[in-house]
Structure 1
């Protein structure tokens, strides 16, 4: 009987100051090394795989090895991959995967919470409570209002399901039109967004940051929205021209907004957004629940088990599109390196 071919232990880097919990099974089958940003460039050439645990890092483009070297697989502990789409990685043969599956429902719940809070004026109630003011008011119903959700991926779909459960009428906008979608019915094409925008009571941005979506929500977009509409962003900060959003709030074009993402994070203390009328500033926490770090580690550990045994990886990013397509076929996974490779 032929003896199975021996394999060397793969070297897996974790971009983090300390090893995350939940990676014991990975460590049992890999040379698992945590590296801070300062050591990343020195360690990357010899790495077989990279876990970008500090997903807000800006260090990867400068540290990426030249000449076609570097890890054959990069996984990020985030849903968005815009920070990984620098030319050297995008144009390489390296597979990129994300942490799809962890964030969808928590973000959808956060969006639903903001819709209810804005409609019921919770902020006004808390403010009056602090001033010991008893002032009866009427608020709005959310049932039968109309929402448009931009982003046809799993986060946008979870938002649609959750808002529909509250009685809202909801349309979903993706990259291209799909009729008869088994989950949401019709997915509208990106080209239809402007028409839907003009009718919406609620506009929810849950799309990835791409060349098409950067600066999408500008003065023209806010002017197209119906007066008194509300805007919620759980996508990426650069999709919104913040000075234009501020003007729309100050002039009463929008009745309110909730932002979980910003162009600069943390939001500077001198940003005028802190004092914008009817705006909730959330510190990029809509997806972060008490178990989220364990859940992120579990996604990577599962993909690592697939990777080292040559099975297809989950959540493979289409690097040309900049996200994981909803109906994409899973490509073959790279296998762990063989002895002497």
Structure 2
């Protein structure tokens, strides 16, 4: 098995363009194979940092090419099953989105051992040696309970989170246990990207066409023509170029926008058709993206490294008349610095679907700012999105686990994504 290469912790800033790759302040070696370090389970081959293989182990809900392949294999060739799946569901038993798992038909060789939100709920299943842990956001104290479950059930071989982010389960204890026990972690990445991309481009159009003015005029029965802005030819900066960020870039290119992306490993986007330029994730690169972008989408996950990343320095560098859109996680942005940028006119406006504190307190200044579009963290909340996330676990990753194939959507618990 290939070990996951890791980027050297040196001060390296890189820029990648469609015409090739250019390295600035580069060292002689950019990544090494950590052959002697702890490796993932055989079920998770971490190709994400290997520019030679160029294989991305992430689910795409719209690519039907291989969907259900291993479910089909199990159905028609039961002998392909290499191990049974004994599942614990760390979830609210009444979570409707989990009904396909809790009350539905499971793949041959899979069984649901128990459902609960506390360690006590799982005590009757110790002797059964469950090996799969499914975790839902509906577990109210997941960061505290999850480490207890892992310590009590050393038989767990795989943890799957039913959300795109794993911040709702993060704790130092979880990270230490998952790492020391070499337990692969996966999530529902790819499930929510399309709806968030649609929201992002709607938010761009909201300001480009000055919809608040349009709505005021309609309310006042005022037939007033005014100039609007085209998105074509504008630059979209994407802070956190993962699955969601790439979906935004893909849609933005249809509008004729130029794309600048910021990501931890820029070389992974070397041949990306949706990016014009990709910067590494350092402060200078972030400030450069802010200064070059007409519209800025923040889709970075909330991790120890990213919290507060978009701060006063970044907003001081912002291009005149720019619009900021946050659809990733609230803590990534210094909200007071954002408010000041909006109040002083450094930013033309902001569209915010996520906040540091949710629900957003009624006392927040955000509510009073006329140049802010607020949504209650629901721009990915379609009527079926969570059900589909559970079905992804059941029909894609669970069969893969049982036949010994690579799991989709691997997450590094240390990095948080």
TM-score range (shorter-chain normalised) is 0.7 to 0.9
Q: CA 1:125 to 1:33, structure 2 compared with 1: closer, same or farther past 3 Å?
A: farther
| Correspondence 1:303 to 2:397 | yes
* SS of equivalent residue, structure 2 residue 308: coil
**Is 1:59 the equivalent of 2:141?**
yes
Query: Superposed, which structure 2 residues align to 1:156-305 within 5 Å?
Result: 156-178=245-267, 180-185=270-275, 186-191=277-282, 192-301=285-394, 302-305=396-399
Cα distance change on mapping 1:218 and 1:44 into 2, 3 Å: farther
Larger deviation: 92-101 or 105-114?
A: 92-101
CA distance 1:68–1:224, shift in 2 (3 Å): same
Deviation of 1:66 (Å) = 7.3
What is the Cα-based RMSD across aligned positions, in Å? 2.6
Secondary structure of 1:82 counterpart:
coil
- Relative to the length of structure 1, the TM-score reads 0.84
Deviation, structure 1 residue 5: 11
Shift of the alpha carbon at 1:126?
1.8
* Corresponding residue for residue 89 of structure 1: 174
Tell me how far apart the structure 2 counterparts of residues 232 and 255 of structure 1 sit (CA, whole Å): 11
Match of 1:327 in 2: none
1:133 has 2:222 as partner = yes
**Deviations 1:67-113 (Å, cap 9, x if unpaired)?**
83344322222111123231222122232110012111111111011
Aligned residues: 317
Please give the per-residue CA displacement for 1:160-192, whole angstroms capped at 9, x wherever unaligned.
111111111111111133263244454321132
Q: 2:92 aligns with which of 16, 26, 35?
A: 16
Contact 2:84–2:402, Cα closer than 8 Å, also in 1: no
In structure 2, distance between residues paired with 1:241 and 1:271 = 14
Could you tell me how far 1:268 is from its partner in structure 2?
1.6
**Unaligned 5+ runs, structure 2:** 1-78
**Structure 1 unpaired stretches of 5+:** 324-341
**Which structure's relative contact order is higher, taking Cα pairs within 8 Å and 6+ residues apart?**
2
**Which whole-Å CA distance do the structure 1 matches of 2:81 and 2:397 have between them?**
22
Contact residue 26 and residue 32 of structure 1 kept, 8 A? no
1:123 corresponding residue in structure 2: 212
Contact 1:181 1:187 in 2 (8 A): no
